[in-house]
Amino acid sequence: MADESLPALAAAACRRAAQLAQPIFLCYSEISPPVEPLDWLQSQPQERPAYWRQPDFLLAGSGTSALWQDGGWERFPRALAFCESVVDRSAGEVPLMVGGFAFAEQSSHNCLWLPQRLLVQSAGRSRVQIQYAVLPGMDGAGVVMAVQEQMAIAQKQPHFIDSSDREVFELPDSRVDNPQQKTWRETIDRALSAIQEGTLKKVVLARALEVCAKSPWQHWGVLSRLQKQFPNCFNFLLESPDRRLFLGASPERLFQIESGRLTCDAIAGSIERGENPTQDQILADSLWHSDKDRHEHALVVQSICDRLRQCGLAPHPSDHPQLLKLANVQHLYTPIQAQLPQTSLQQVFSLLQSLHPTAAVGGEPRQQALDFLTAWEPRDRGWYAAPVGWLDGSGRATFAVGIRSAYLAGDRAELFAGAGIVAASRPEDETAETLLKFTAMLDALGVSWIP
């Protein structure tokens, strides 16, 4: 809790709002008893829900006190200006924001917001934070009452909602592949030709799969099953700018800033899991000794390290790739760390601009790969393979790469999966890899795969 009392904070916020003729964001928190965050979020008013779970931190948010949506070029500087404005006009606790950025720079799919009610769990403690917009002309007593009302909503004992059961759709009502199989194969062939000509070293192609259910998707159940199946991934649910829900369980951290240390994940190279420990080890050995996968992985590690050096940092990758074993797939994985000379909002957005997209989801060289995708993958990926996450006013932040994900809207679900194309790629193998990656979300949705 902030040192100042709520009445003192409210009175000071009202004076500043009147002086500046702008909203002041009063951030006030109280310790909360332990509660299941998904139950808490389902019990809150369903205005712009937000959910984020990583092994050492969890937040759930509801409502909006400040919102930034912008598209096109210069999105990261504009987002930085929004966050700095929120921090400059905040009072009490450090404000915390959530959201995501589009994969493509020209896309309008960019959104950050300041949730009005937050549940935050970290280091064994749970707290509720109210982030309330104090408008010019408000009086202190009225603000205190409004914050207390929001706190009462946030601290209301949530009711348990069983989201474990699911209806299994043996066949969805409809299925649409984008691109169609023939076009997908042709695009892989074009990518391989560009690599052979020396234009590209690698490009990551994405497929979309839309399935329509017999009834609206129950997103709480989907998210609950995802985090049970992938407890060590970054589990998230965020409302996108077009008001669809974007949710997933990403294994890939774009970067995390905590206590002056930066951590990035290099993940590239994939193979399925085995049906028993012996088969699983055989598959892992195959991945480990695959020249194609080791080459693809090395490109990603080198690309991330080069971009961190361009930011003036000294990256330290692990000496050798590790195996990251998930429920349905195993990857080659290299953690990369660096010390930060400072922790600030400017640092967060400098890293976003420098690191996104990594060679794991875009390609190498970066600009040539993006030009290829613009020409031959015209579908807007939205937040797929793009940065989603949270940051606070002190410069702490975690952004994951929005993979193993889907958009939900009513009875429609749109899933994405990607495959990294390098010189040794074979179209049939890359198609199989995308099918493998689709299965995680299809299983959470309760949809049997249709070959």
Residues involved in catalysis: 202, 252
CA gap 319, 269 in Å, rounded = 17
Evaluated on CA atoms 351, 353, 354, 360, the torsion sign reads: positive
With CA atoms as reference, report the closest residue to 111 among 25, 239, 219.
239
- In eight-state DSSP terms, residue 311 is T
Q: Are 52 and 118 in contact (CB under 8 A)?
A: no
Pairing of the two strands 90-92 and 24-31 = parallel
145/6 Cα distance (integer angstroms): 10
- Measured between alpha carbons, how far is residue 187 from residues 235, 324, 386, 437 in Å? 31, 29, 21, 19
Strand segments (E) across 57-201: 57-62, 66-69, 90-92, 96-100, 111-114, 117-122, 125-134, 174-178
**How many Å is the Cα radius of gyration of the chain?**
22
For residue 432 the two structure tokens come to 């199989």
Contact (CB, 8 A) for 62 and 117: yes
